[in-house]
Structure 1
Amino acid sequence: MKTVALTCFTDVLCVWAWIGELRLAELRRTQGGAVTVTQRFCNVFGATAQKIQANWGTKGGYDGFAGHLAHVLEGFPELAASPDLWRGVRPTSSLPAHLALKAVQAQEADGGAAGLSDRAILGVRQAFFGQGRDVSAASVLDAVLSEAGADLADIHARLARGEAHAALMSDYQEAQALGVKGSPSLVLNEGRQMLYGNVGFRVIEANIAELLREPQAGAASWC
């Protein structure tokens, strides 16, 4: 069976990436094994205080940004967001979560339970956006990863020896090399196609359908 490889670059603190989880779930449901999804990370909220000051310093700061997110999420009733987002709960950086999740991905690759890393990534997003937990705190990350089924001792060992750091730098460098502009960015066709930002499910589906299409012998491919 022909398959399409989809690489999804996100920052765990990006609301559009949380929304994008709905589309990834639908993609897995409708396409099954025809699409393989690999989740990687890019740097958007690596230093949240500086980002908020630069983008929202004259528009209400954290409260202005929180109001913007609340307005965005009104269009997605499937997602129940915590009222504390960026008001009472202000993660300092997405970096700790990205590092922990790279360790989880390595754990799964080395024989961990299938789907562990996807559960952990979704769990971190839900912990922040849905439950208002500070996912830049090590204790919160430990709790979330444990809930997802990760072996915490193994995670801590991978962090301690720098393995997760190397893997995360690979993600960041690959994102830069591909020209990833932000989160989420969906990369298809060995980097030839990129869908960035709030892209609807039907657009994603159409791109994948064209890549899955088996043209007749001698026919031109439009993908």
Structure 2
Amino acid sequence: MKPINIFYFSDVLCIWAYIAQVRIDELKTTFQDQIEIEYHFVPVFGNAPEKLEKQWRDRGGLPGYSNHIQEVAKKFAHITVHPDIWTHVTPPSSTSCHLFLHAIQLLEKKGLVEQQMFEKATWAFREAFFTQLAKVGDRPVQFEIAEKLGLPVAAIQAQIDTGEAYAQLSKDFDLIKEHTVTVSPTLIFNEGRQRLNGNVGYRVIEANIRELLHNPPGEQSWC
């Protein structure tokens, strides 16, 4: 049986995606070769300052949003959030991060870096922002994170310069439009017929996968 394909959309700057990573890791451990996760980005924070200013104008602005993020983080013991999150440093956009990470993803696909380096780099970006207030949208900071992971920065830059990383970002935009993705994180199963949006517990995600394993797409179900 072919592995179940899962589209996983997230934004690097999204607190819910930061929280959800432990669930994705658990899925990979539990189901191993029974699932295949295809990572994509949705630019929830494509224009972060304007978005937050508009949505939080009547709720305390950036300090209000920062307080909200900290209250959310308190509910999850496996993550840490800096007390000045979003106030001391407000990244202009997550898109620069997504482009850079797609360049790393391309190197992994080409066998030029170790497997799972894309996932490690994505987590490193999230952790650097949420715990250290790193300006992850800045290219020098991106290079610094990559170097700490032992990644070849010249090769990463080459994937961007040739346009290949932009092509992957464009593919994300096409899939976002095709599947009407607006939330980070979003998991899409069964060729778009099933989806889970936002802060969904691990057991719910697991149940969806087990249902697909026991009732493969194309087979009739009692419901």
Q: Same fold (TM over 0.5)?
A: yes
Aligned length: 220
Residues 156-171 of structure 1 aligned to structure 2 (within 5 Å): 156-171=157-172
Specify every segment of 5 or more residues in structure 2 that has no aligned partner in the other structure, as ranges.
none
> Match for 1:177: what amino acid?
E
Q: Give the aligned CA root-mean-square deviation in angstroms.
A: 1.6
> Match for 1:189: what amino acid?
N
Identify if the C-alpha distance between structure 1 residues 65 and 47 changes in structure 2 by more than 3 Å, giving closer, same or farther: same
Tell me what 2:187 maps to: 186
CA contact (8 A) 1:2 1:212 kept: no
Tell me what 2:29 maps to: 29
TM-score where L is the length of structure 1: 0.93
1:10 aligns with 2:3: no
CA contact (8 A) 1:97 1:141 kept: yes
Identify if the C-alpha distance between structure 1 residues 222 and 13 changes in structure 2 by more than 3 Å, giving closer, same or farther: farther
Identify if the C-alpha distance between structure 1 residues 3 and 81 changes in structure 2 by more than 3 Å, giving closer, same or farther: same
Residues 49-198 of structure 1 aligned to structure 2 (within 5 Å): 49-111=49-111, 112-198=113-199
Moved more, 63-72 or 155-164: 155-164
> Match for 2:201: what amino acid?
G
Identify if the C-alpha distance between structure 1 residues 157 and 213 changes in structure 2 by more than 3 Å, giving closer, same or farther: same
CA contact (8 A) 2:42 2:182 kept: no
Identify if the C-alpha distance between structure 1 residues 87 and 30 changes in structure 2 by more than 3 Å, giving closer, same or farther: same
CA contact (8 A) 2:125 2:136 kept: yes
Task: Give me the whole-angstrom Cα distance separating, in 1, the residues matched to 2:171 and 2:222.
Answer: 32
TM-score where L is the length of structure 2: 0.93
Specify every segment of 5 or more residues in structure 1 that has no aligned partner in the other structure, as ranges.
none
> Match for 2:120: what amino acid?
R
Tell me what 1:38 maps to: 38
